[in-house]
Structure 1
């Protein structure tokens, strides 16, 4: 997402002719969009995106379990 944000900022700077970016070739301005597409393709094909989603779900599950234990007055166990 950071690469896409950077791409959009550079595009806006080129379009509105702000700063040194106004002098850049359109190829340099559009290159970060290509890099963003390559990143997304790699992340999806390698399973990186799915792995991060599963890690986030597992953390939410652990947090929810700990919250319920605290509400019941049980002390959470120390991590092993």
Structure 2
């Protein structure tokens, strides 16, 4: 997402002719967009995106279990490896 933000910032600066980026060729403005597309393609291909989603879901599940145990008055300080 940082790369996309940088891409959009460069695009805005070029479009509104602000600063030294206004003098850059449009090809240099397109490079971060291409890198962003490459990153997303790699993340989907390698399973990185799915792995992060599963990690987030597991973390939320554990938090929910701990919260419910605390509400029931059960011991919560046990940590799973």
Q: Fold conserved (TM > 0.5)?
A: yes
Structure 1's unaligned 5+ residue stretches are: none
Q: Deviations over 1:20-44 (max 9, x none)?
A: 0001111101100000000000000
Corresponding residue pairs, total: 80
Structure 2's unaligned 5+ residue stretches are: none
Comparing 68-77 and 28-37, the one that deviates more? 68-77
User: 1:75 aligned to 2:75?
Assistant: yes
TM-score by length of 2: 0.95
Q: Could you say which residue in structure 1 is the equivalent of 2:40?
A: 40
Q: RMSD value over aligned CA atoms?
A: 0.9
Q: What is the SS of the residue equivalent to 2:78?
A: coil
- How far apart in 1 are the matches of 2:65 and 2:28? 49
TM-score by length of 1: 0.96
